[in-house]
A and B are shown apart, each in its own frame.
Chain A
């Protein structure tokens, strides 16, 4: 087996030095996702400003694949508009389901193309997707919350937990 096809140097670099790791404020929504088969966990926060993803921060425990994947994700979505992030999300999910048979679009996925090899290992695909699923969940919740004040929600429940001390 070619271990290097899974453990690309880019993946090991992100694993050893993860980008944007740690939980930060302010944030709109925090989610907690787990991989029940192996116990990997991630707590992920999203801060949006209109259509822009202004921050994604996270705290996670898991294998090199799941850690590197979270790091790569934050590089791809922070500071960009939500739609660009969702396009990358769709592309990444499709790549992970490809069993290594598609050539990823490097313009869209950047460092995430390094995960092509991981898609050949069904047991590890969930590791790679954990943070991406958490990000999509948090982002859609944050967008719903943004719409809610117009629907008559009280400002207290709808306001972002900016500087929350609770």
Chain B
């Protein structure tokens, strides 16, 4: 479904950096949005305005600026809550990024009410970003629990054929990615949530790639935690979000200790603040949260249904175009069904670093390497890949330029 009112050229004018020219005055072709997205003028202006007009610490300054800054910060929390369908804004915890959000959950499950024990199991998938593997490996090391994982089929889909054995009475946590940053695969959340909840396991969703691209409603998905990051959704770096179910956030122990997260402190011990402050120790990234609020406003104005439709259309266009390049092998689904807009591929024997270097010389920015997903590259028998990824400002002509660049790379190293 294509919305004829979606004008990508008009949207591009909101992104000053897309006017950049690089390497001998060539137009920048930015195909690395799964790494970090570009920022619209509206977000940049909000950041500047915050620092120029409202800068203050929050929740503690009894003066005009303190009140304005607090209102802006808490206003951003309300915007994020509404954007992801959180029933209660206090369950939106600001972190510095997805990695910190996932580590927060993995840390508070090491002890206390839901602390893991030897014999317990944590289930992840082979297509996780390192940030949704390593924290769980550390949790298992600390607690004696066992890490298990879903495999991936040859066409890049999650292999759920053994789900009833994999997620069992011993399973305490199931953590998985909504949309893969390497394969692009959109995972079957409902299937996994149903099985996990049937055995009483907590479900943690890495929504780093999905919240920027798709309408995401955490209540509708039925998950227990979701992690995502501001900088991949038109917001600044340094701000991420952990959303959690209130009963769990209330029951779980604190993560970082310090100012703001306490109720009273004595030398003998402390009691903790209520949500969300319990999980926001210290001065948070205030301007960055406000900037994320502006990013949410921006995406809401464009409309997440329109963003998702554009992503699907441009991904289908790119998959078609890439299929014409001989020697190119896509890792992951080769059609745009249940798929996000990150396409990783290999190009014959040409190493991804070399592919990226040739593309860069033509102004085309892609990512080369394992994209923080070494296990999934091993699964497909390669050490690295080249990844092109798209966003609401990506045009078909940029994909055409990518194809020309890939042919040049083949000739250069042929």
Which A residues lie at the B interface, using CB under 8 A? Answer: 1, 3, 6-7, 12, 15, 37-41, 61-65, 121, 124, 127
B351 A39 Cβ-Cβ under 8 A = no
In the complex, A38→B351 CA distance in Å? 11
Contacting residue for B370 out of A1, A6, A38, A121, CB 8 A: A38
A39 B383 Cβ-Cβ under 8 A = yes
What is the chain B residue whose CB lies nearest that of A12?
A: B413
Known contacts A38-B368, A39-B370: A3-B361 contact under CB 8 Å? yes
Contacting residue for B354 out of A37, A61, A64, CB 8 A: A64
Of residues B353, B358, B383, which shows the largest number of chain A Cβ atoms within 10 Å of its Cβ?
Answer: B353
B357 A124 Cβ-Cβ under 8 A = yes
B357 A62 Cβ-Cβ under 8 A = no
Task: With both chains docked as a complex, state the minimum distance between the C-beta of A38 and any C-beta of chain B, in angstroms.
Answer: 4
B383 A41 Cβ-Cβ under 8 A = yes
A62 B361 Cβ-Cβ under 8 A = no
* CB-based A-B contact count at 8 angstroms: 48
Known contacts A39-B369, A61-B383: A127-B412 contact under CB 8 Å? no
B351 A1 Cβ-Cβ under 8 A = no
Task: With both chains docked as a complex, state the minimum distance between the C-beta of A62 and any C-beta of chain B, in angstroms.
Answer: 6
What is the chain A residue whose CB lies nearest that of B22?
A: A1
What are 24 A-B contacts with C-beta separation under 8 Å? Answer: A1-B24, A3-B357, A6-B357, A7-B412, A12-B413, A37-B369, A38-B352, A39-B370, A39-B374, A39-B377, A61-B383, A62-B351, A62-B353, A63-B352, A63-B353, A63-B354, A64-B351, A64-B353, A64-B354, A65-B353, A65-B354, A121-B357, A124-B353, A127-B353
- Cβ contacts under 8 Å, B377 to chain A: 39
In the complex, A64→B409 CA distance in Å? 12
Q: Which of B280-337 contact A (CB under 8 A)?
A: none
- Cβ contacts under 8 Å, A37 to chain B: 369
| Residue count of chain B within 8 Å CB distance of chain A | 19
- Cβ contacts under 8 Å, B358 to chain A: 3
A63 B351 Cβ-Cβ under 8 A = yes
Q: Does B233 contact A (CB under 8 A)?
A: no
Task: With both chains docked as a complex, state the minimum distance between the C-beta of B379 and any C-beta of chain A, in angstroms.
Answer: 13
Contacting residue for A38 out of B23, B384, B413, CB 8 A: B384
B353 A1 Cβ-Cβ under 8 A = no
In the complex, A39→B370 CA distance in Å? 7
Task: With both chains docked as a complex, state the minimum distance between the C-beta of B350 and any C-beta of chain A, in angstroms.
Answer: 8
In the complex, A124→B384 CA distance in Å? 15
Shortest 3 CB-CB contacts between residues of A and residues of B: A63-B353, A63-B351, A1-B23
- Cβ contacts under 8 Å, A65 to chain B: 353-354
In the complex, A37→B357 CA distance in Å? 15
Task: With both chains docked as a complex, state the minimum distance between the C-beta of A4 and any C-beta of chain B, in angstroms.
Answer: 10
Known contacts A39-B377, A64-B351: A1-B383 contact under CB 8 Å? no
In the complex, A61→B352 CA distance in Å? 11
In the complex, A38→B370 CA distance in Å? 6
- What 1/0 mask marks residues of chain B from 343 to 369 whose CB sits below 8 Å from any chain A CB? 000000001111001101100000011
Q: Which of B365-387 contact A (CB under 8 A)?
A: 368-370, 374, 377, 383-384
- Cβ contacts under 8 Å, A15 to chain B: 413
In the complex, A41→B352 CA distance in Å? 14
- Cβ contacts under 8 Å, B383 to chain A: 39-41, 61-62
Task: With both chains docked as a complex, state the minimum distance between the C-beta of A56 and any C-beta of chain B, in angstroms.
Answer: 22
A38 B353 Cβ-Cβ under 8 A = yes
Task: With both chains docked as a complex, state the minimum distance between the C-beta of B356 and any C-beta of chain A, in angstroms.
Answer: 9
- Cβ contacts under 8 Å, A40 to chain B: 353, 383-384
Task: With both chains docked as a complex, state the minimum distance between the C-beta of A21 and any C-beta of chain B, in angstroms.
Answer: 14
Of residues B354, B360, B370, B413, which shows the largest number of chain A Cβ atoms within 10 Å of its Cβ?
Answer: B354
In the complex, A6→B361 CA distance in Å? 11
- Cβ contacts under 8 Å, A62 to chain B: 351, 353, 383
In the complex, A121→B360 CA distance in Å? 12
In the complex, A4→B370 CA distance in Å? 26
Task: With both chains docked as a complex, state the minimum distance between the C-beta of A25 and any C-beta of chain B, in angstroms.
Answer: 25
Known contacts A61-B383, A63-B351: A38-B369 contact under CB 8 Å? yes
In the complex, A122→B377 CA distance in Å? 25
- Cβ contacts under 8 Å, B354 to chain A: 63-65
B413 A64 Cβ-Cβ under 8 A = yes
- Cβ contacts under 8 Å, B353 to chain A: 38, 40, 62-65, 124, 127
- Cβ contacts under 8 Å, B23 to chain A: 1
- Cβ contacts under 8 Å, A61 to chain B: 383
B361 A1 Cβ-Cβ under 8 A = yes
Of residues A64, A124, A127, which shows the largest number of chain B Cβ atoms within 10 Å of its Cβ?
Answer: A64
What is the chain A residue whose CB lies nearest that of B414?
A: A16
User: Given known contacts A6-B357, A63-B351, what 15 new A-B pairs fall within 8 Å (CB)?
Assistant: A1-B23, A1-B24, A3-B361, A3-B412, A7-B357, A38-B353, A38-B368, A39-B374, A39-B377, A61-B383, A62-B353, A63-B352, A64-B353, A65-B354, A124-B357
What is the chain A residue whose CB lies nearest that of B351?
A: A63
In the complex, A40→B358 CA distance in Å? 18
Task: With both chains docked as a complex, state the minimum distance between the C-beta of B365 and any C-beta of chain A, in angstroms.
Answer: 12
What is the chain B residue whose CB lies nearest that of A3?
A: B361
